[in-house]
Structure 1
Amino acid sequence: MEPSEDTGSNLASQEVNPVFLQQLRELDIPEEAAKQALLHTRNVSAEEAAMYYFNKLENEEEGDEDLLFKMVFVVNMDLGMGVGKVMEKRKHTFCQIAAQVGHAAVGLYQALQEKNSWREMAWKWDQSGAKKVVLQGTNVAHLLELQALALSLNLPTYLVQDAGLTQVESGSRTVLAIMGAEEMVNNVTGSLKLL
């Protein structure tokens, strides 16, 4: 049987057969995915929906093998952070941008542990070379706009708010980190200049 040509909004308004749904749940298919599979196969049977779900899952996994992942860091250039500054009190060179990017990397990597799909993404990113790129952002508003776009694409993000112990004021938003499939991340940051 061919899947229904209904759009997602039409599918969401339809009811699923509760007996078929229970049968799919017994196969360890997540509830929302089971509902979508039933709706796409017009509630014909649990077997049809299961075949649809597992075929779709297999196709997605095959497509993921070719994906490259990257982590980008967008620096708030409006803050005028130095790339190397002698701190009078500490008597050593302190690289503010590098420190802020480091905070962003750690924060994003910790955030990636919150969801199974994000942990898997982190693993794939690591296996594909752990690509990292540092880019120039205009100001806080620009970073927030990029973060909203990334979140709308379901990309994990982390925005650093500095403690104010060095060059920038406490609470300053310094670096936005974003991670995901390279093509998706490029939809958010592809037009930005390298730092």
Structure 2
Amino acid sequence: MESQQEVNPVFLQQLRELDIPEEAAKQALLHTQNVSAEEAAMYYFNKLENEEEGDEDLMFKMVFVVNMELSMGVGKVAAQVGHAAVGLYQALQEKNSWREMAWKWDHAGAKKIVLQGTNMAHLLELQALAMSLSLPTKLVEPGSCTVLAIIGEEEMVNNVTGSLKLL
């Protein structure tokens, strides 16, 4: 069996693209035995969530669930994620509690994660679950549901999207 001391350079690059610091990315890959970038990213974000913040300062994140059934090109996905981000951020300005959440999210690094959704029904199901947990959402619908954006306290968002794969 080959040594696990070396990190997979492809996975390392994928983690760096998620704004994970290089040393932390290497440690996450070593800890998860180079299984995948997804495993290492989940390890890193869970570790960050559990270690870095005290009870009073919760971490927040924004996730984007892309409808993979639509076979959109990279540019189309990027544009639709952009629409979802702007739309959700605008919606956050409508309520005082949501404005405060947006401020906390922004000042804690504005973490954003892009994930894979199966189809429109899947996105609608995730949106319903998020709304039942009082998480702000934005569904981009130019004809068909392309992207669902959700923001909230990390643990709550993970209850909705924690099992999805990174895009």
TM-score above 0.5, yes or no: yes
TM range (shorter): 0.5 to 0.7
User: Is the counterpart of residue 103 in structure 1 residue 97 in structure 2?
Assistant: no
Establish whether residue 148 from structure 1 lines up as the match of residue 128 from structure 2: yes
Match of 2:108 in 1: 128
TM-score between both structures, scaled by the size of structure 1: 0.57
The size of the alignment, in residue pairs, is 114
Alignment of 1:1-195 (within 5 A): 63-65=55-57, 67-83=58-74, 95-162=75-142, 171-195=143-167
What is the CA–CA distance in structure 2 between the aligned matches of 1:64 and 1:80, rounded to whole Å? 42
Q: Which runs of 5+ in 1 are unaligned?
A: 1-61, 84-94, 163-170
Report the 3-state secondary structure (helix = DSSP H, G, I; strand = E; otherwise coil) of the residue aligned with 1:186. helix
Q: TM-score of the superposition, structure 2-length normalised? A: 0.67
Superposed displacement of residue 172, structure 1: 1.1
Q: Give unpaired runs (5+ residues) of structure 2.
A: 1-53
Higher gyration radius (CA): 1
Q: Deviations over 1:94-127 (max 9, x none)?
A: x100000000000000100110000000000001
Q: Any idea what SS the aligned residue of 2:63 has?
A: strand
Stretches of 4+ aligned residues off by more than 3 angstroms: none
Question: Matches of 1:150 and 1:172 in 2, distance apart?
Answer: 20
